[in-house]
Amino acid sequence: MAEINWLPAGENAVLLEVSALATAHQVWAALRQADLPGVLDVVIGARTVLVVAEPGFDVDSVREVAARAGPGPDIAARTVEIPVTYEGADLADVATRTGLSTVDIVRMHSAVEYVVAFLGFAPGFAYLTGLDRALQLPRRDIPRTRVPAGSVAVAGEYAAVYPSPSPGGWHLLGRTSVRLFDPDEGALLGPGDRVRFVPQ
């Protein structure tokens, strides 16, 4: 296991910094599977894992599990298909910037089985890895003040779907009617889940 940097995060939490997303997933999965006494939640980030616990939790047990973490089975991984209408506001611009046709962009974007790396930015906003390198673009120079819910977008190495209306600087390729977050039901996607975009 790669070196882990341990940082206090308040009185009852610790933040584990690691060098790569793959390592973060291994540590996150190991801690979730261990179900340690006193641990209330384990939250994954791009290169971090946050462990939230009850007062007086045994941090040494967390260290032991994290130190043994390695490749293992996914936790509750599912494959979710998301229908997409590829008529996004930035589709033509992405074609110009990449030198691809819009038909090629749709084909390449929908050919991949993505993996949910982590959730962040907004409730239900899943960062999806697996985006074809040809579609990896920096975020827009000028973010939009409002991106509609259901917007299917790309930025950097990630693909995503905006779960709610919000500001945003990602490139919009299309839209979906699938609801990514419900206040009563929670997020549709979780770390490790697989996602396929299906053109409509």
| CATH number of the domain enclosing 88 | 2.40.100.10
- Residue 171, pLDDT > 80, answer yes
Residue 19's pLDDT is 86
Check whether residue 155 and residue 95 sit in a common domain. yes
Question: What's the pLDDT at 21?
Answer: 85
Angstrom distance (rounded) from CA 199 to CA 196: 10
140 domain residue, yes or no = yes
Rounded Cα distance, 152 and 46, in Å: 20
CATH number at residue 62: 3.30.1360.40
Same structural domain, 95 and 173: yes
Distances in Å between the Cα of 163 and the Cα atoms of 16, 114, 121 are 27, 17, 10
What is the Cα–Cα distance from 94 to 89, expressed in whole angstroms? 10
Please state, rounded to an integer, the average pLDDT across all residues of the chain: 92
Q: Give the residues across from 126 on adjacent strands.
A: 119
- Work out how many domains the chain is built from and give that number: 2
Band of pLDDT at residue 128, cut at 50, 70 and 90 = very high
Same domain, 64 and 136: no
**Enclosing domain of residue 134:** 79-199
8 A C-beta contact, residue 79 and residue 193 = yes
Could you tell me if residue 89 is inside a domain?
Answer: yes
One domain for residues 16 and 111: no
Say yes or no to pLDDT of 44 above 70: yes
Residue with tokens 């261990």: 34
Going along 63-124, which residue ranges are E strands?
A: 79-84, 114-119
Q: Are residues 57 and 145 in the same domain?
A: no
| Same domain for 85 and 42 | no
Do 53 and 88 fall into the same domain? no
Q: Are 47 and 119 contained in the same domain?
A: no
